[in-house]
Amino acid sequence: MSILRKNILLYQYYEQWIEIYKEGAIRKVTMDKYKLTLNCRCINCKCCT
């Protein structure tokens, strides 16, 4: 488990949130969607639609 830092970017917080609260608690398909969202950090991208 990662130690939460005070000054982090949203995607870094989201990554830690998944690791701490979601891994092992949700179905694989849901985890895949979370990870897709995490990997898609560009503005107006078409990869998530």
**pLDDT more than 70, % of the chain:** 71
Joined together, the tokens standing for residue 12 give 């870094």
Domain extent, residue 33, equals 10-37
Total of domains in the chain: 1
Query: Taking 90 as the threshold, does the pLDDT of residue 44 lie above it?
Result: no
Write the pLDDT tens digit of every residue in 8-30: 888 899 999 999 999 999 999 99
Read off the pTM: 0.67
Q: For all residues of the chain together, what is the average pLDDT?
A: 83
18 domain-assigned: yes
31 domain-assigned: yes
pLDDT of residue 46: 63
42 domain-assigned: no
Instruction: Write the CA distances from 40 to 25, 35, 44, 48, integer angstroms.
Output: 23, 9, 10, 7
43 domain-assigned: no
